[in-house]
Amino acid sequence: MGCLLAIFILIVLAAFFAGTEAALANINRYRLRNQVRLGNRSARRTEELLKQSDRLTSTILLCKTIANIGVASLTALMAINMGGGPALALGAALLAIVIAIFGEIAPKTYGALYPERFAFPAAWLYAVLLRLLFPVVWLVNTAANAVLRTVGVSSNAAASHLPRIDGRRAPPDEDPSGSQSRQRMLAALLDLETITVEDIMVPRSEIASIDLSDDWDTILEVLRTTPHTRLPVCEENLDNIIGMLHMKKVAHDLAHGDLSRDSLALIAREREAYFVPEGTALEMQLRNFQRDRRRIALVVDEYGDIQGLVTLEDILEEIVGEFTSDPSTLHKDIHREPDGSYVVSGTINVRVLNRTLGWSLPTDGPRTLNGVILEYLEDIPEHGTSLKLGELSVEILQTADNAVKTARLRPS
């Protein structure tokens, strides 16, 4: 009974080493770097391990070898005691199947599919094993290099061709072949499946629209001054959308004074509004925009109420950064001051703020700077209130309508 338990434990250990080997080899280094920036201790430990890829690879190979040899030895011992030669042959065949399924294929497949789930907890154990087994690993590597030298292979050549566990993608500061902007774009592309339309949408209160119930002079003023080429058209309130208006369809009539309320409503109804549910991943929404030949969508909640607006340009900016004709402009809601501080609109999306200035404000809670400040204070601050958000000093400059309108942010 004790021998069976020992065999089971060794098979579990073999599966663990095989699975973590696949997980560490397939982990997304860009996402890992982002987890480190967010303060994930397991991610930091994993990143430190991957910097010692040679030692890590040798340690895993050594542990796997010990576990597999232990299983084979105990199985052979049991088989000999139970039935001699025939039992030994049967035991070897069964062991080969069990090791292949439960000690290699299944754990490696799981580790490759869910690398973070497997690698993060294992990193703490490997940090200990690397220290404990360092003398043994060094001795084995030295002996292996000595054997290779006898057949004319140098240790440097052997090391360069040995499979290394160093992650599926090199981090930005370790890839000399590409520019930083290209690496940032690649990292953003990889994150599209984890970011949702809610994270980048224009909130409902900030949506520019035309309300047909407004007086005609107000409607004309919106049409003449809007910087947007497409506008949602509603009646009475934003939840009653009648269609989407493309400015090029009304530009001629507007310039000649021939546009009327009825013709405006008729043109708007030619193009139905496009709705998407909140929680839709950006990767999926990008493909939906391409499939449906649309550029703008209204984000709705489970009750059908409009929560915000997302455009194709918003998704592209998430990948390549802010579009602007003025290279000195950071973002329309961010203004750099001569003293090194930044005056920022409270409605700015936290992800945009982090991306533009390289900061690391939390993105797993409120989506705007105003929301982050209100959550931190659990109150609506007054003008002049100061607080500390991580490494940022924040001074409230303006509040209105129960929200922070502008704030001054200064890196510590």
Please tell me whether the overall predicted TM-score, pTM, comes out greater than 0.75 for this model: no
pLDDT of residue 80: 80
Contact 347, 206 (CB under 8 A): yes
What residue ranges of the chain have pLDDT lower than 50?
A: 160-161, 168-178, 325-327
Identify which of 198, 197, 270 has the alpha carbon closest to the alpha carbon of residue 233.
Answer: 270
Q: How does pLDDT run across 357-395, given as a tens digit for each residue?
A: 888 888 878 888 999 999 999 889 999 999 998 889 999
pLDDT of residue 294: 93
pLDDT of residue 184: 65
CA geometry: angle 285, 288, 292, nearest 5 deg: 145
pLDDT of residue 74: 85
pLDDT of residue 360: 83
Look at domain 197-320 and name its CATH class: alpha beta
Handedness of CA 175, 122, 9, 19 (dihedral sign): negative
CATH architecture of 334-411: 2-Layer Sandwich (3.30)
Same fold, 197-320 and 334-411: no
Domain ranges of the chain: 2-162, 197-320, 334-411
pLDDT of residue 183: 62
pLDDT of residue 126: 87
Helix and strand numbers (H, E) in the chain are 17, 12
Task: Name the DSSP letter for residue 169.
Answer: S
pLDDT of residue 327: 46
pLDDT of residue 182: 65
